[in-house]
């Protein structure tokens, strides 16, 4: 009795699939019910996939680049009480989405703070607008119609620095975290802000070479205002910074004006900023 020949199902199945794929490429129809072409399809080239991804990113960017998107944010700020036309114009001009990570870009125009890495955040638009409006209340700013010479403590991603360039004659922005300093330089470069100087240094020391400053604004808060900032504030100048007030559970916005006979300090609403630190972080 002769032995039965084994059934070679797997190679034959592969043969049928390969034949169907060949027919499909030649423009022929496979027999009804055949699913070979659904099982095996040539993969799209990697370059084509990248091109599609780039087109999708561009489409999102074009939408966010629309002036209408920023106009809606500006209108919300106006409804919330921001009245200074110079502040609102700055927010209308600077694209916030260009300063946040790609994964968070859809939240760029919401009134929320967003992480930018290294334990830092980009502040809420409403808080930034409030601080800029307070700066415009300084004596020098009122006399000149702009913020004059500005010192910013804490560059972060560079968004607030870009806003300040719309409001001041020259801006010095100091950042202690080297990675953020480099990131900000890259992000503001396309805007060609000739009046902006980014400095990698300890912000608690201010920046004496550019002093005195008509306006000083800080994006981090400690238990007190560093003496270096007060020394670098011009006569008639104004400083706005979050400060951890004694006896309170958190920070509050503090405004300091420099007069001939000394400094005047006023405490405003509660805020929440990252902690002010000294030294450099590479």
Sign of CA dihedral 277, 243, 168, 150: negative
Distance (Å, rounded) from C-alpha 29 to C-alpha 20?
A: 8
Token pair, residue 125, equals: 């638009």
Burial class (CB in 10 A: 0-12, 13-18, 19+), 110: middle
Which candidate, 204, 200, 232, 197, places its Cα nearest to that of 218?
204
Catalytic residues: 123
Question: Residue 116: what are its φ and ψ, rounded to 5°?
Answer: -125, 10
Distance (Å, rounded) from C-alpha 46 to C-alpha 30?
A: 28
């Amino acid at each position: 009795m002769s032995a039965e020949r084994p059934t070679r199902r797997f190679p034959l199945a592969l043969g049928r699939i390969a034949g169907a794929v060949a027919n499909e490429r030649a423009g022929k129809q496979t027999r009804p019910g055949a699913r070979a072409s659904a099982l095996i399809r040539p993969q799209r080239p990697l370059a084509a996939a990248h091109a599609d991804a780039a087109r999708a990113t561009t489409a999102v960017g074009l939408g966010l680049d629309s002036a209408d998107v920023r106009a809606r944010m500006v209108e919300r700020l106006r409804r919330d009480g921001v009245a200074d036309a110079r502040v609102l114009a700055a927010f209308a001009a600077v694209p916030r989405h260009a300063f946040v990570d790609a994964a968070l870009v859809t939240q760029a125009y919401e009134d929320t703070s967003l992480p930018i890495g290294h334990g830092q955040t980009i502040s809420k638009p409403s808080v930034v607008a409030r601080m800029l409006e307070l700066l415009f209340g300084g004596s020098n700013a009122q006399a000149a119609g702009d913020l004059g010479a500005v010192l910013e403590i804490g560059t972060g991603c560079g968004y607030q620095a870009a806003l300040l360039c719309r409001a001041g004659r020259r801006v010095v922005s100091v950042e202690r975290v080297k990675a953020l300093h480099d990131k900000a330089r890259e992000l503001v470069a396309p805007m060609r802000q000739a009046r902006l100087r980014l400095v990698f240094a300890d912000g608690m020391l201010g920046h004496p070479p550019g002093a005195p400053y008509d306006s000083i604004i800080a994006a981090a808060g400690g238990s007190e205002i560093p003496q270096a900032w007060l020394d670098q504030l011009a006569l008639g100048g104004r400083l706005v910074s979050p400060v951890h007030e004694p006896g309170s559970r958190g920070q509050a916005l503090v405004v300091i004006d420099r007069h001939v006979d000394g400094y005047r300090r006023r405490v405003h609403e509660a805020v929440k900023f990252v902690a002010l630190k000294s030294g450099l972080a590479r």
